[in-house]
Amino acid sequence: MEIVLYESEIPGNTGNIARLCAANHMTLHLIKPLGFSIDDKHVKRAGLDYWHLVDVQVHENIQEVFDKYPDRRFFFATTKAKHRHSDVEYQIGDMLVFGPESRGLPESLLAEHEETTIRIPMIEEARSLNLSNSVAIIAYEAMRQLDYPDLKVEGPWIKQG
């Protein structure tokens, strides 16, 4: 599972998402332009001491990501999607794409990939969820379906058998 942030604007959200990626062995792709520097102290503070655990790749544009990963499946998170995030049967290597906090993914990109747009159910009156919350919800649903690959899921607090 890989996370793609298209033109992310808020350093705290990106830091939180980087921490989620670190904890789950996910690559984080950042699409320029960003609303901050990835050296920004706010991003690093949100990610705490996890930055060394994250594979962060910065791309000039979304087409660069498509070209680099032509055999991958891309899912585009938007409040305008037909499909719920939990209706998708995720596969290892899927790319989860999220738009900037203030405006979401471009309409042209969503129209081009309409069949792979996904949404998180919520009441009609709610505009959207926080970006880092949305990434966590969808990423963990995908990881749950895949039985949490590469993650420690057992411990003394879990009953065996």
Which strand (E) or helix (H) includes residue 82?
none
128 is in an annotated binding site: yes
Tell me, rounded to whole angstroms, the distance of Cα 70 from its chain centroid.
Answer: 18
120 is in an annotated binding site: yes
99 is in an annotated binding site: yes
Which strand (E) or helix (H) includes residue 133?
helix 131-145
Give the whole-angstrom CA distance, residue 57 versus residue 28: 6
Q: Would you call the peptide bond into 100 cis, given omega within 30 degrees of 0 as the criterion?
A: no
The answer to whether the CB of 118 falls within 8 A of the CB of 81 is: yes
Phi, psi of 48 (to 5 degrees): 50, -130
Summarize the annotated binding site as residue ranges.
99, 120, 128
Summarize the annotated binding site for S-adenosyl-L-methionine as residue ranges.
99, 120, 128
